[in-house]
Amino acid sequence: MTSDHNEYDKLSIVGTGELLLNHSNPVLPSYGRPACIFWGNAMKSAMSPQSKLPDVGTTIFTVIGQLSAEHNALNLSQGAPNFSCQPALIESVAKAMREGHNQYAPMSGVAALRHALSAKAEALYGCKYDADSEVTVVASASEGLYSAISALVHPGDEVIYFEPSFDSYAPIVRLQGAKPVAIGLSMDDFSIDWDQVASAINSRTRMIIINSPHNPTGAIFTDFDIERLTALTQNTDIVILSDEVYEHVVFDGERHESMACHPQLAERSVIVSSFGKTYHVTGWRVGYCLAPAELMSEIRKVHQFMMFSADTPMQVAFAEALADPQSYLGLADFYQQKRDLLAEALSESRFELLPSRGSFFMLARFSHFSPLTDDEFVLSLIRDHQIATIPLSAFYSNNKPTGLIRLSFAKDNDTLYEGARRLCRV
Ligand SMILES: Cc1ncc(COP(=O)(O)O)c(C=O)c1O
């Protein structure tokens, strides 16, 4: 499978913003590129730059968000929480601002925060990262992913990742002149077929990107995954990029299999995580990377010329917040209650809910009662039932219909009840 197919081409907005399904009509523009022509008001330029990502348009999340607004739909599509963070965290940021923490932070991050992160990784995962050379605070996990891939992947390299996947991995790889190699997760339980990974590895394989807990499926890594990943990467120079933004959202008493728990994996891994997910502040754009010094020094070379540093007052506040381990250890229970509330409220619906073992998401199957594709089904939910979700096919490079939609339960309880009520009418 290649990423040559546009993930979003089929969702196009023209004229008044009506969403069209664009499977068969290549004449329709992909949303995001020629929009200026169709909206009418945008400036026209004589320039026509050669695109580095010619098949990429505006992301599905933006498209669905706009449609939801038009149809006044309740939004269970995005992972962003619709509830606020602890008031003390906001107070802490305000205090940091009042105290003058308003200029550039050190490139690698505020020292107190790096030390707090190093201590947390050691306490939770048993791995000691040097706060000066192996911890970097970045301006969101997205920036961490970009910096790590950009620093470590070269033109001609191959990068293995798993689909369905978070949308940024493959485009970032392509921007380096490298080749993203997608391996499909099992459609039964979204586990990894490690034999397929073994066959995909060759001398050009530079990196494997993993994500546990997994967006969009809610799957988590098991002992078996760790065993196979360790065996396949030992004695290679393959870097593991481990997206652990949902590290504190693992349900039913299971443990998060961080790469930092496993010395053989930790020595070749870059771990990326996000304060936005852990503290309900996705708009603050602060994340962090953990990696051995040799890898980290390369990542910092990119980070320093991209962002230089993340927002200072937020870093000061997060250093204070981490002093209370309950601020992150309580997260699994908090989201488990939301998962269970939504599942219970949907128990009378026609959807078949797939197990979610972590993250903010669960998948719901509709293919046994509707012949529509995922996109058509999501569209009908917005238009006819005023409820927004995401088609699982949007997380695949070939957009093959899956008969599944992704629901986010990172919402307040009233929204979850009302969302379930609307879905029960379907
Ligand atoms: C799996 C995964 N990785 C990375 C990110 C990006 O995190 P951030 O908001 O910190 O950039 C997200 C956000 O939705 C995500 O779901």
Task: Please say if the pLDDT value at position 425 is more than 70.
Answer: yes
Distance CA 398, CA 394 (A): 9
Tens digit of each residue's pLDDT (9 = 90 or more) over 60-107: 777 888 888 999 999 999 899 999 999 999 999 999 999 999 999 999
Tens digit of each residue's pLDDT (9 = 90 or more) over 126-157: 999 999 999 999 999 999 999 999 999 999 99
**70 class by beta-carbon count within 10 Å (0-12 exposed, 13-18 middle, 19+ buried):** middle
Do residues 28 and 170 both lie within one domain? no
Give CA 257 to chain center in angstroms: 17
Residue 86, domain member (yes or no): no
Do residues 170 and 263 both lie within one domain? yes
As a whole number, mean pLDDT of residues 336-341 equals 98
Tens digit of each residue's pLDDT (9 = 90 or more) over 219-232: 999 999 999 999 99
Ligand 1 pocket, 211 CB below 6 A? yes
Q: Which among 367, 261, 278 is positioned nearest to 318, based on CA atoms?
A: 278
Shortest-distance atom of ligand 1 to CA 275: 10
User: Is-cis flag, bond preceding 325, omega within 30?
Assistant: no
Residue 17, domain member (yes or no): yes
Highest mean pLDDT among 16-20, 36-40, 104-108: 104-108
Ligand 1 pocket, 374 CB below 6 A? no
Ligand 1 pocket, 215 CB below 6 A? yes
Do residues 182 and 202 both lie within one domain? yes
Q: Which of 245, 249, 278, 406 to mutate to test the pocket of ligand 1 (most atoms within 8 A of CB)?
A: 245
As a whole number, mean pLDDT of residues 336-354 equals 98
Distance CA 62, CA 363 (A): 20
Do residues 301 and 389 both lie within one domain? no
Do residues 68 and 165 both lie within one domain? no
Do residues 41 and 173 both lie within one domain? no
Place of tokens 């077929």: 193
Place of tokens 């997910």: 277
Residue 273: pLDDT band (50, 70, 90) is: very high
What is the CATH number for 225? 3.40.640.10
Residue 4, domain member (yes or no): no
Do residues 123 and 271 both lie within one domain? yes
Ligand 1 pocket, 314 CB below 6 A? no
Number of independent structural domains in the chain: 2
Give CA 242 to chain center in angstroms: 11
Task: Please say if the pLDDT value at position 9 is more than 90.
Answer: no
Do residues 144 and 71 both lie within one domain? no
Residue 40: pLDDT band (50, 70, 90) is: low
Residue 236, domain member (yes or no): yes
Domain range for 107 is 91-323
Do residues 231 and 305 both lie within one domain? yes
pLDDT at 410: 98
Backbone angles phi, psi at 12, to 5 degrees: -125, 140
Do residues 166 and 294 both lie within one domain? yes
Last residue of a domain, one of 258, 289, 323: 323
Residue 85, domain member (yes or no): no
Shortest-distance atom of ligand 1 to CA 166: 1
The answer to whether residues 399 and 5 touch, using CB atoms and an 8 Å cutoff, is yes
The per-residue pLDDT of the chain, averaged, comes to: 91
Ligand 1 pocket, 327 CB below 6 A? no
- How many whole angstroms from 120 Cα to the centroid of ligand 1? 20
pLDDT at 242: 99
Ligand 1 pocket, 142 CB below 6 A? yes
Residue 5, domain member (yes or no): no
Residue 387, domain member (yes or no): yes
Do residues 126 and 228 both lie within one domain? yes
Last residue of a domain, one of 323, 357, 389: 323
SS (H, E, C) the chain: CCCCCCCCCCEEEECCCEEEECCCCCCCCCCCCCHHHHHCCCCCCCCCCCCCCCCCCCCHHHHHHHHHHHCCCEECCCCCCCCCCCHHHHHHHHHHHHCCCCCCCCCCCCHHHHHHHHHHHHHHHCCCCCCCCCEEEECCHHHHHHHHHHHHCCCCCEEEEEECCCCCHHHHHHHCCCEEEEEECCCCCCCCCHHHHHHHCCCCEEEEEEECCCCCCCCCCCHHHHHHHHHHHCCCCCEEEEECCCCCCECCCCCCCCHHHCHHHHCCEEEEEEHHHHCCCHHHCCEEEECCHHHHHHHHHHHHHHCCCCCHHHHHHHHHHHCCCHHHHCHHHHHHHHHHHHHHHCCCCCCEECCCCECCEEEEECCCCCCCCHHHHHHHHHHHHCEECEEHHHHCCCCCCCCEEEEECCCCHHHHHHHHHHHHCC
Residue 1, domain member (yes or no): no
pTM of the entire predicted model = 0.90
Shortest-distance atom of ligand 1 to CA 142: 11
- For atom 16 of ligand 1, the residue with the nearest CA is 215
Do residues 141 and 30 both lie within one domain? no
Task: Please say if the pLDDT value at position 53 is more than 80.
Answer: yes
Q: Which of 248, 277, 306, 335 to mutate to test the pocket of ligand 1 (most atoms within 8 A of CB)?
A: 277
Distance CA 21, CA 9 (A): 9
Q: Which of 211, 248, 274, 284 to mutate to test the pocket of ligand 1 (most atoms within 8 A of CB)?
A: 274
Last residue of a domain, one of 290, 323, 356: 323
